[in-house]
Structure 1
Amino acid sequence: MSLRQIELFLPKESADKVEELLQEQSIEAIWQSPISEEKTLVKIILSSQQAEEAIDTLSSHFSSLEDFRIILLPVSAYLTHPSESESSDEEDNNPLPEVELDPESSRLNRQELQQQIDRDLDLNLQHIVMLLISAIIAVIGLLRDDSTIIIGAMVIAPLLGPNMGLSLATTLGDMPLAKKALQIGAFGISLALALSLMIGFFIPINLDIPEIALRTRVRWSDVLLAFASGIAGALSFTSGTIRGLVGVMVSVALLPPLVTFGMLLGSGRWEPAVGAMLLFFTNLVCLNLAGVLTFSLQNIRPGEWWLASKAEKATNAAYFIWFGLLFVVITSIVFWRRTHWV
């Protein structure tokens, strides 16, 4: 079981109410440490799933207090008294671990997800350099027809954060976060597109290269790949595991078709460029739709009821927009295949 430690600073008279407020929570341990005559530090050990509700409860009761603060820490190890461990072992008659099927129990709490996405959406010099380097490596891989080099570009492409950030902001109804994710995502797309346009203008693009030709047409399997990548990206983000490897899948769906589109457009190859553009937009729409769907199924919602209503409206609007865009893209694909492909 994944544990978290909550630390909150409260006046002494308020600290005594904490245990009563959390009596419905399955708390592993709780204790107080006096800081001064007026202030007390309360420490609570509980499961990661319980932490989200506990923080909401504590915030609703104490947020109006001056200098109120909550710190959430991961617990690497929690050792109980030997007698407690022995008694729990005796009570456990089932040698097989239980399989937890609750989607909420397999994810990080909402507060950790928001902190993580804030770090991922930090636009700095390193982010810009990594975008440029990944685009350059992808161009080289496409021109050399070398899938190994293309995969190398995907490893370093920072494209997971903006897409997951937009999906998370939608399910939380957090419009400032959605705006930030859109801005950083649009900046990354524009930067990679501008670089590939410039390269395509100066370097002739050979459509006989299989890695390039592969990304000038959309197959139905590409739609499934983008959906699978979006779901994997959302699950890895909420579980806090293997995010780097799943980020590769998201980058595979976005960066190669985007770079291919830019190079073909820069070379004046309009018709194949449209095919690459359709592949890119198909992947982009499917990734974000899958992200919103996954976060919704995991019941990621704001703690306050008035924000929950706002989040529900934002999620429904996102479904309408993404499904509408998916319909437009699929219609365009069908039309393009009938008029340009044999």
Structure 2
Amino acid sequence: MALRVIDIYHPDTDEALDVPDAPYDVLGHWTYAIDDDQRVDRVLMEVEDTEAFLDWVDDAVITEYRVVIHAVEATLPRPEVDGDEGEEDEGGDADEEDTEGRSARVGRAELYEYARDATDVSGYYYALIALSVVVAAGGMLRNQTAVVIGAMVIAPLIGPNLALALGTTLGDLDLLRQSAWANLTSVGLALSGALGLGIVMTVDPTTGELAGRTVIGIADIALAGAAGAAEALAVPRGRATGLVGVMVAVALLPPAVATGLLFGAGHPDPALRAGLLTATNVVSLNLAAVCTFLLLGVRPRDWRDMEQARTSPRTALTLWGGALVVLVLLLWQFA
């Protein structure tokens, strides 16, 4: 049972917030004044309840406030969750309806912070991208699969891609711009680096590691979709993202590097097919991630424009789904 402590700082009204105990379980509630003008309400609850609770805070607290969320490593004695037995007998059906579809994932606020941090790329991030391109190119040119896998371990591609899918799902234009820029610069660096290597090195397009990135089929779309779904499942639950990041890099790094190498070496036809595979994988990955976010119950909540909040999931599915259809048609033309 993952727990969170939520501190709500608000103007001191000499009264604690009247926190309801439904549809979430409040495991602890404390309040105290921290100075003459401000009060803090501290609430302990399970991580899957935080999103609904924060939505209530935004609706109920009409004054200016600040929320700070803390992860709880441990607490003694262990809190007891109400309603496991007694409430099930009296109102079991209603309780099942209240909790149906809830998943043990972090709330929208924590997920958003992770995505925003992931788009704040630095020189260290770009250095890892450049190194992964060199390693991947060396593995492809020597037809050494293990070396290519090593490049996927180095490449830090999961964060910006997850942020792009989340920004599309939530209809958050700022997050979309930041994540799109991080992804474009990452792909641009990979392509330009591989292009330069392709110019100065001997590239054989029939090499297995290169030729395999110029053949596009349903299996490639399924692989990228699985990677997108995996990243959208792992991060909201706070799972380790290292192995999932490798899976994302499998879908993105090798075809991008193959595109640059083949273009640089003067092989435009296979380079175009590798580029098409790269674009198809990007779209498939993000479409699967958006669908997974929606299945997990991640929804936009834009209090300034509720109509935009209601339409953004449909817009996300339409954009990524339409892009995938276009790419599939292009694949059919190239086949």
TM-score between the two structures when normalised by the length of structure 1? 0.87
Matched to 1:69, the amino acid is R
State the secondary structure of the residue aligned to 1:13.
Answer: coil
Does 2:76 match 1:79? Answer: yes
Partner residue in 2 for 1:123: 121
Shift of 1:90: 11
Partner residue in 2 for 1:3: 3
Q: Distance in 1 between matches of 2:240 and 2:309?
A: 28
Contact 1:170 1:178 in 2 (8 A): yes
State the secondary structure of the residue aligned to 1:32.
Answer: strand
Matched to 1:28, the amino acid is L
State the secondary structure of the residue aligned to 1:28.
Answer: strand
Partner residue in 2 for 1:299: 297
Contact 1:172 1:308 in 2 (8 A): no
Contact 2:10 2:63 in 1 (8 A): no
State the secondary structure of the residue aligned to 1:117.
Answer: helix
Partner residue in 2 for 1:227: 225
Partner residue in 1 for 2:34: 35
Partner residue in 1 for 2:57: 58
State the secondary structure of the residue aligned to 1:325.
Answer: helix
Partner residue in 1 for 2:19: 21
Which of the numbers 66, 74, 77 marks the counterpart of 1:69?
Answer: 66
State the secondary structure of the residue aligned to 2:212.
Answer: helix
Q: Distance in 2 between matches of 1:207 and 1:304?
A: 49
Cα RMSD (Å) of the superposition?
2.4
Q: Distance in 1 between matches of 2:277 and 2:285?
A: 12
Structure 1: 5+ residue stretches without partners: 92-100, 338-342
Structure 2: 5+ residue stretches without partners: 87-98
Number of equivalences: 323
Shift of 1:14: 5.7
Contact 1:173 1:307 in 2 (8 A): no
Partner residue in 1 for 2:47: 48
Matched to 2:327, the amino acid is V
Q: Distance in 2 between matches of 1:14 and 1:336?
A: 71
Contact 1:171 1:311 in 2 (8 A): no
Matched to 1:74, the amino acid is A
Contact 2:302 2:308 in 1 (8 A): no
Partner residue in 2 for 1:172: 170
Matched to 2:261, the amino acid is M
Does 2:196 match 1:218? Answer: no
Where does 1:122-271 land on structure 2 (aligned, <5 Å)? 122-271=120-269
Closer, same or farther: CA 218–102 of 1 in aligned 2, 3 Å: farther
Question: More displaced, 136-145 or 31-40?
Answer: 31-40
Shift of 1:116: 0.6
| 1:85-123 C-alpha deviation (Å, 9 max, x unpaired) | 7x99998xxxxxxxxx95532221000001111111112
Closer, same or farther: CA 88–60 of 1 in aligned 2, 3 Å: closer
Shift of 1:158: 1.6
Q: Distance in 2 between matches of 1:162 and 1:220?
A: 25
Shift of 1:149: 1.1
Q: Distance in 2 between matches of 1:227 and 1:303?
A: 26
Partner residue in 2 for 1:340: none
Matched to 1:177, the amino acid is L
Identity %: 33
Partner residue in 1 for 2:314: 316
Matched to 1:3, the amino acid is L
| 1:298-339 C-alpha deviation (Å, 9 max, x unpaired) | 1212345654531332222222222222112111212212xx
Closer, same or farther: CA 80–273 of 1 in aligned 2, 3 Å: same
Closer, same or farther: CA 22–46 of 1 in aligned 2, 3 Å: same
Q: Distance in 1 between matches of 2:77 and 2:269?
A: 67
Matched to 1:183, the amino acid is W
Partner residue in 1 for 2:323: 325
| 1:206-227 C-alpha deviation (Å, 9 max, x unpaired) | 1232111111111221111111
| 1:281-312 C-alpha deviation (Å, 9 max, x unpaired) | 11111001101111111121234565453133
Q: Distance in 2 between matches of 1:307 and 1:33?
A: 34
Q: Distance in 1 between matches of 2:297 and 2:145?
A: 38
Q: Distance in 1 between matches of 2:178 and 2:113?
A: 14
Contact 1:285 1:325 in 2 (8 A): yes
Closer, same or farther: CA 6–118 of 1 in aligned 2, 3 Å: same
Q: Distance in 2 between matches of 1:154 and 1:307?
A: 40
| 1:256-286 C-alpha deviation (Å, 9 max, x unpaired) | 0000011100111011111211211111110
Shift of 1:63: 5.8
Q: Distance in 2 between matches of 1:124 and 1:63?
A: 38
Closer, same or farther: CA 23–281 of 1 in aligned 2, 3 Å: same
